[in-house]
Every structure is written in C-alpha cells, then in structure tokens.
Amino acid sequence: MATDITGELDAWRALPALQQPEWDDTGELAAVAAALAKQPPLVFAGECDQLKEELAAVARGEAFVLQGGDCAETFDGSTADAVKNKLKTLLQMAVVLTYAASVPVVKIGRMAGQFAKPRSKPTEVRDGVELPAYRGDAVNGFDFDAGSRRNDPWRLLQAYHCSAITLNLCRAFTKGGYADLRQVHAWNQDFVAQSPAGQRYEQLAAEIDRALTFMKACGANPDEFHGVEFYSSHEALLLEYERALTRVDHLSGLPYDVSAHFLWIGERTRQLDGAHVDFLSRIRNPIGVKLGPTTSADDALALMDKLNPDGEPGRLTFVTRMGAGKIRDALPSLIEKVTQHGSPVAWVCDPMHGNTWEAASGHKTRRVDDVLDEVAGFFEVHQALGTHPGGIHIEFTGDDVTECVGGGHEIAEDDLHQRYETACDPRLNRGQSLDLAFMVAELYRK
C-alpha cells in the first residue's frame, strides 16, 4: 500500500509548535504558502544526499565541518559585497584548516535562508514602549516601530527570493573561479596589511602557493583545486515555510526540504513530541539538533531514535552549545551514551550560544576567549574519549564589526558601539574568525 506522504508531512500541524509567529490574517498566510509551493527548489535532492555522504565521513572521523554565517541574515544584507565577504572569510578559514590540520573540510554556510529567529521574550521594551520582538526578516522588521514589528506573511516569500539571490551568488563564487586555490592570496588582499591574523594567513598562503607550483610541475592539477562544494543551511523554525518548500523527489519518491541542503532544530524547539522534531523526522535532508547544557543523555538518545531510526550515516548531527564553563562537565556523558547507542552521529561545537552576555552599554556580546575556550574544551573531551571532534558552527561576518570583545585587535567593551551591526546575536569579525581557524587547526593536529 502506498504511504500517504502528504499526510505524514502535515502531521506536525496537530502537535505543539513553539516559536511560531501569530499572523493577523491566516488567509494571507495560506496565499503565501500556496505561492511558495509553486516556486522552484533552491537545492536538489542529489546535493542533499552528497552532503549526507560528506557528513557520514565526518561521523567516521575522516572530515571536519565548518558551518557559519550571520545569526540572522537580513534582506538588505543580500548584496554581492556582503555575501562575497562572508564567503571569502569562510574560504580562508577552510584553507587554514585543510592545510594546517590536513583534514577535508565540509563547508556549510549559515546562509541563504537564515531569516527567522526564536526569541526568549515575545515582546521588547524600549524607553517604556513595548512592541513585539523582532523574529527575523522572514517575519517582521528590525526597526522599533509598530508598523515594522507587525508580522507580515509576505515576508516569507521575500525570504525565499533573498535566499535564491544569496545561493546564486554563493554558487557563482564557489564554482566560477573565485574559490580556485590559486586565489588564496586574493582573498586576503584587503586584509593582510591591517591585521596580525591576515599576516599569519599570508605566510600559510605562500606555503600553499609553493605546494601548488610543485604539484603543477609534477603534472597534478585536479579539479578539486579549482572550486569548492558549498552547502546552505538554516534553522528550520517557521514550519509553514519549510512545509511549503518540501517536495517529493521524482527519482527516489522521498520528501526533501528544498529550502536548504542542511536544516537544524534549535535548542528551544527540540521537544521530542513537538512539531519541529516531527517535521524534520519526515524529510530526507541531513539534519542537525542543537543541544544545550540541560540536555540529558536520554534526551539525546530519544532524538536519535526519532530522527534517525535506521542509523543512516550522515543523517544526524548534534550541535552542542554548552558554554565555556559547562562543556567539560556536560559533554562527556552525552558522548559516552550516544557512542554506546551505536548509531552514527557527527559532533559539531557551537561555541557561541552558551557564551552570550550583556555589556554595561546594553550590547549583547561574547568574549572571544570564551569562544576559544569552549572549542578547546570540545576537543579535550573528544580526545579523552577517543571520539571525533567533527566541526564548528559559528556566527561570523566578513566585515570588521565590533560585536565580540577580545581577539587579535583587542576589542574592548567600550568599543562595541563602533560597528555593532548585527540584527540579532554578536558575530566574530574576520580577524577573530581567522584566529579561531588557526587555533582549531592546532588542536586538530594534537
């Protein structure tokens, strides 16, 4: 008997769905969902399967994930320059890791779809005025006025279009010559003179150049040197959007969410009997779940059984976000029980979300030292248990913002206002991101 795939894909509608915006007019929402359902896919099932294979290699200990981008992408930020700067930084970090740690790097952008945010409070108060919280450009506007903060379902369609624009740029940059390894210096040109991280990178780029010249002289010039595989990802938060972009693949007859290659469930929406876990259990993309410091080993095992009952390699990634002070205590028992369970999991460290605090100026910030310490703790725990530290998941931008304190340029708390541009959480800037890549490469070699 044929299974009713459509019915299964809508099973989440009967379950509690946290963090969903309330729309004034559900007729409008239905019209938007119908319009989205007619749009072309942003990614293809075959690409998602290829990423799944690469993540299977990560789970086996043979590759490393570099996943990153803005906390919240914005429609205004979908420009060629902003996308290029982010990609450039991601490529530089990936080259540092590939060369200095000698490990294949799976490159996944928190890009081309990261337009929706879960919020800890439904409203925001400023100078005595209370308005709905900003939930990401896919839902409402960042500006603090009643008109802008109104939830507007048509923004979902705009999120789709901005995702298409961004992904098109990413595909063009990574396949059209810009990601060619002979460009290692070019990615750094505007950066080298101004920063210690840029100078350190330049030395490594010179070594890569020599290695490339040597290999060319030997007659080796493989395709892999001329472009990279790049994958898109975002938090699968708005279920109407994800459902409307889920299609049954003609070849396999299986459903894929074609809004991104990789989708993850956030820390706030990973309830075992909730709508998000149900929906993601039914699509065939590779998926992730964020695990915060209160996660019990039993929670993790139950998520494995629900999201990857067949133990498919590469299907499930756990993204831990414990906080620098907690990771060394909280992570070991999770890893031990998950390893005993036997089903493959890729472990990725998000060193950002457990380390956020508010500066006296009111800016949300993170200390680069805490970020580095959480990554160091992640490596220590895995190395002690003989398991594989499979990757990092970070919030960063290619611009020289001042959102996280510390780092090579020593951004002080008093400097935060200078270039504080994030629409949500504080991001590492380019120098801070490169410093992190160098540190991870050193930890990896140990």
Q: Which residues are annotated as a binding site for Mn(2+)?
A: 71, 353, 395, 425
| Cβ atoms < 10 Å from Cβ of 343 | 19
Residues 6+ apart with CB under 8 A from 289: 264, 265, 270, 303, 307, 316, 317, 318, 319
Q: Angle CA(118)–CA(245)–CA(310) in degrees, nearest 5? A: 85
Q: Which is nearer to ligand PEP, 21 or 255 (CB)?
A: 21
Distance CA 397, CA 68 (A): 9
Q: Which is nearer to ligand PEP, 255 or 292 (CB)?
A: 292
The reply to whether 408 sits near ligand PEP by the rule CB under 6 A is no
Binding marks (x or -) toward ligand PEP, 239..278, rule CB under 6 A?
---------------------------xxx----------
**Positions in 57-86 near ligand PEP (CB under 6 A):** 71
Residues 6+ apart with CB under 8 A from 34: 244
Distance CA 248, CA 6 (A): 9
The reply to whether 227 sits near ligand PEP by the rule CB under 6 A is no
**Positions in 109-128 near ligand PEP (CB under 6 A):** 118
* Structure tokens, 7: 């019915």
Determine whether 183 is exposed, middle or buried from the number of CB atoms within 10 Å of its CB (0-12, 13-18, 19+).
middle
Dihedral through CA 20, CA 25, CA 30, CA 32, nearest 10? -80
**Positions in 198-227 near Mn ion (CB under 5 A):** none
Q: Which is nearer to Mn ion, 54 or 350 (CB)?
A: 350
Name the amino acid, one letter, at 7: G
The reply to whether 427 sits near ligand PEP by the rule CB under 6 A is no
Q: Which is nearer to ligand PEP, 204 or 322 (CB)?
A: 322
Binding marks (x or -) toward Mn ion, 402..431, rule CB under 5 A?
-----------------------x------
Q: Which is nearer to ligand PEP, 88 or 290 (CB)?
A: 290
Q: Which of 55, 59, 71, 277 binds Mn ion (CB under 5 A)?
A: 71
- Interface positions with ligand PEP (CB under 6 A): 71, 118, 235, 266-268, 290, 321, 353, 425
